[in-house]
């Protein structure tokens, strides 16, 4: 997003100007070619439309075949509106003002550009103009990679994904959603081999518009011919090698959809949503973004109506948590303001291993995890972290200590902190929103203290309280507390013995794996071997090492 007020206004005016130009061109074209608006452009690249097939689809007919899949009308459920996806990009890449602009112009777009005569495709193009023009192309690509898969996955049809998995090779074509918004989801989680869709126009790395219908149709046809070769021209009855088109009824109103009328069509009214987690070709372990709900027009309107109240509520909750950080008073104040806490077990009855404090090891859901553990224990604790913003450090009601990612130095620091009092450690090293546990670092098992596992689960209904964007991480607690009804579940599990001293560190790894399994069984989460580095490489394209922490580690190594 822009960093100053004038550039913010400029970025908001750009989509308005582009939208006005688009609407004028559309209305002018409607007057001149009212009866021919849905005719594809005259080009040798676009094939003539044969009549669609109406025979039922059998998955065994797709084995060994190449399928061309219409994303809008085959993979996505019929009830899904493209507005939801453009609102996600507008808010996550452009901010809440950009999303509000899209919400305000949406009724006008529905009025001027109805569903008939290809108006649905024109409305999608207008929404793309408002949501994307003026944004950095790199940021749009990041949202498409890190945020969009979760929303597209929730909108995908199980039958559509099954057909793709049955084929030997698959090419997905999007008529309304730009390729950059859907490619990561289609390739990594559906398993398609190539993606064709409207391309963004950019100038100096800033989105200036989206390819018009005629150009999109020509580019799509050209790419399909390059990808499929002779299969593009073979009929379905020509043999096992012919390409099969998978097209459902209805939303693809643009000229790209016209390419698929030569292939197979099927009714979708009874299709079911894709089941969560286990049915995906690749599970969705990580995702980014602030929105925790699909922003349909009605849901987006409710969110903007709630925002002023949500900000005041978040501030009051944080102040109350800072003044009353320990004991039952925290849960009482939370209940009065809509925060739901559930405490299972009695952590204060756990016996320590020798002198000093007790070591509490928990999975990592949000930055508030150590604070919630301290409130459940009713006494102060110290939390260790690899990266924490200065704002979060200032408002934290408990003591925090930074780690350097130098193993020996961090082990000595944690041992010293544990000798002075209770210590809370999150060995995953980063947060995970879904029902998975990342690999536990075995460093905590080398401290020689009994391990008190704590299973944590946090739920939100409007905003996620975690982010991989360094500039936005200081807002994580505020977003969590802005939720109307956030909830935390804290369960203290039976104590685990420490690892005996060993040269190879194998015992500490076994202790870490045992604690991970114990917490996973309590929460019903799936265990993984993934790490913080895996998360940041997938979502942000880097290893997630904060510059300050990296510099501190380098200084320690240089001083030895």
Q: Of the ranges 61-65, 160-164, 287-291, 379-383, which one carries the lowest mean pLDDT score?
A: 61-65
Q: What is the CATH number of domain 59-270?
A: 3.40.50
Contact 177, 89 (CB under 8 A): no
pLDDT at 486 over 60: yes
Residue 63 is predicted with a pLDDT of: 76
Q: What is the pLDDT of residues 184-242, one digit of tens each?
A: 999 998 889 889 888 888 899 999 887 666 666 677 777 777 776 666 555 444 444 45
Q: Where does the pLDDT of residue 366 fall: very low under 50, low under 70, confident under 90, or very high at 90 and above?
A: very high
Residue 548 is predicted with a pLDDT of: 44
pLDDT at 421 over 80: yes
Residue 161 is predicted with a pLDDT of: 85
**Greater confidence, 415 or 11?**
415
Q: Which residues contact 360 (CB under 8 A, 6 or more apart)?
A: 347, 373, 377, 381, 422, 423, 424, 425, 452, 453, 454
Q: Where does the pLDDT of residue 348 fall: very low under 50, low under 70, confident under 90, or very high at 90 and above?
A: low
Q: Is the pTM of this model over 0.85?
A: no
**Greater confidence, 235 or 274?**
274
Q: What secondary structure does DSSP assign to 467-503, as a single string?
A: -S-GGGGGGHHHHHHTSSS-EEEEEEPPPBPPPPP-S
Share of the chain above pLDDT 70, in %: 71
Contact 530, 439 (CB under 8 A): yes
Half-sphere exposure of 172 (CA within 13 A, CB side): 32
Pairing of strands 169-173, 382-385: unpaired
pLDDT at 470 over 70: yes
Task: Look at residues 544, 539, 457 and name the one whose alpha carbon lies nearest to residue 286.
Answer: 539
pLDDT at 256 over 80: no
Name the range with the highest mean pLDDT among 278-282, 326-330, 487-491: 487-491
| Exposure letters 126-161 (e unless 16+ CB within 10 A, then b) | bbbbbbbbbbbbebbbbbbbbbbbbbbbbbbbebbb
Residue 38 is predicted with a pLDDT of: 44
Q: Span 244-255, mean pLDDT?
A: 52
Hey, what are 553's tokens?
A: 């580690």
Contact 444, 451 (CB under 8 A): yes
List, in sequence order, the alpha helices (H) in 340-465. 369-377, 390-395, 407-420
Q: Where does the pLDDT of residue 164 fall: very low under 50, low under 70, confident under 90, or very high at 90 and above?
A: confident
Handedness of CA 423, 428, 429, 434 (dihedral sign): negative
pLDDT at 335 over 60: yes
Average pLDDT, the chain: 79
3-state secondary structure of 139: helix
Q: Where does the pLDDT of residue 19 fall: very low under 50, low under 70, confident under 90, or very high at 90 and above?
A: low
Pairing of strands 423-425, 382-385: parallel
pLDDT at 555 over 80: no
Name the range with the highest mean pLDDT among 32-36, 161-165, 556-560: 161-165
Residue extents of the structural domains in the chain: 59-270, 297-555
Q: How are the residues of the chain apportioned to helix, strand and coil, as percentages rounded to the nearest 5?
A: 50, 15, 35
Residue 176 is predicted with a pLDDT of: 85
Residue 74 is predicted with a pLDDT of: 80
**Greater confidence, 443 or 46?**
443
Contact 181, 149 (CB under 8 A): no
Residue 3 is predicted with a pLDDT of: 45
Residue 262 to residues 48, 62, 234, 259: CA-CA distances in angstroms?
8, 16, 11, 7
Q: Which residues contact 269 (CB under 8 A, 6 or more apart)?
A: 78
Q: What is the pLDDT of residues 78-134, one digit of tens each?
A: 777 899 999 999 999 999 999 999 999 999 988 877 655 455 678 888 999 999 999
Pairing of strands 436-437, 526-527: parallel
pLDDT at 11 over 70: no
In what helix (H) or strand (E) does residue 221 lie, and over which residues does it extend?
Answer: helix 213-228
Q: What is the pLDDT of residues 504-549, one digit of tens each?
A: 556 889 999 999 999 999 999 999 999 999 999 988 877 766 554 4
């Amino acid at each position: 997003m822009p960093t100053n007020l004038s550039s913010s206004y400029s970025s908001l005016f750009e989509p308005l100007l582009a939208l006005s130009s688009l609407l004028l061109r559309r209305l002018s074209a409607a007057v001149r070619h009212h009866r021919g608006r849905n005719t594809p452009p005259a080009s040798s690249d676009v094939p003539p439309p044969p009549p669609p097939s109406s025979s039922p689809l059998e998955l065994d007919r797709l084995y060994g075949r190449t399928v061309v899949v219409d994303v809008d009308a085959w993979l996505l459920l019929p009830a899904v509106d493209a507005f939801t996806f453009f609102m996600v990009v507008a808010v996550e890449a452009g901010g809440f003002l950009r999303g509000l602009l899209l919400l305000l112009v949406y009724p006008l777009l529905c009025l001027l550009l109805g569903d008939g005569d290809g108006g649905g495709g024109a409305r999608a193009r207008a929404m793309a103009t408002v949501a994307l023009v003026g944004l950095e192309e790199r940021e749009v690509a990041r949202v498409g990679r890190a945020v969009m898969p979760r929303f597209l996955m929730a909108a995908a049809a199980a039958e559509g994904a099954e057909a793709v998995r049955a084929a030997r090779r698959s090419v997905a074509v999007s008529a309304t959603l730009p390729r950059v918004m859907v490619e990561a989801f289609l390739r990594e989680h559906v398993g398609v081999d190539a993606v064709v869709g409207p391309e963004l126009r950019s100038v100096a790395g800033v989105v200036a518009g989206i390819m018009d219908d005629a150009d999109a149709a020509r580019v799509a046809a050209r790419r399909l011919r390059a990808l499929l070769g002779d299969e593009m021209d073979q009929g379905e009855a020509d043999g096992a090698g012919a390409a099969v088109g998978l097209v459902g009824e209805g939303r693809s109103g643009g000229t790209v959809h016209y390419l698929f009328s030569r292939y197979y069509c099927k009714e979708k009214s009874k299709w079911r949503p894709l089941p969560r987690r286990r049915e995906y070709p690749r599970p969705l372990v990580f995702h980014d973004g602030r929105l925790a709900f699909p922003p349909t027009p009605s849901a987006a309107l409710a969110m903007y109506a709630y925002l002023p109240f949500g900000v005041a509520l978040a501030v009051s909750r944080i102040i109350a948590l800072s003044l009353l950080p320990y004991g039952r008073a925290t849960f009482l104040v939370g209940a009065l303001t809509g925060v739901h806490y559930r405490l299972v077990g009695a952590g204060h009855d756990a016996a320590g291993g020798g002198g000093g404090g007790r070591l509490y090891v928990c999975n990592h859901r949000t930055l508030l995890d150590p604070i919630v553990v301290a409130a459940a224990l009713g006494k102060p604790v110290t939390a260790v972290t690899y990266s924490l913003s200065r704002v979060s450090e200032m408002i934290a009601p408990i003591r925090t200590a930074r780690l350097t990612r130098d193993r020996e130095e961090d082990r000595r620091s944690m041992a010293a902190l544990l000798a002075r009092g209770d210590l809370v450690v999150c060995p995953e090293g980063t947060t995970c929103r879904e029902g998975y546990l990342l690999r536990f670092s075995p460093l905590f098992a080398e401290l020689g203290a009994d391990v008190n596992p704590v299973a944590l689960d946090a739920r939100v209904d409007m905003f996620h309280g975690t982010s991989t964007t360094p500039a936005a991480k200081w807002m994580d607690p505020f977003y969590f507390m802005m939720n109307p009804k956030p909830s935390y579940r804290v369960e203290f599990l039976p104590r685990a013995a420490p690892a005996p001293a060993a040269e190879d560190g194998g015992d500490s790894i076994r202790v870490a794996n045992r604690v991970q399994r114990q917490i996973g069984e309590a929460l019903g989460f799936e265990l993984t071997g993934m790490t913080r580095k895996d998360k940041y490489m997938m979502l942000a394209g880097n290893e997630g090492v904060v510059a300050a922490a990296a510099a501190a580690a380098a200084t320690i190594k240089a001083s030895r």
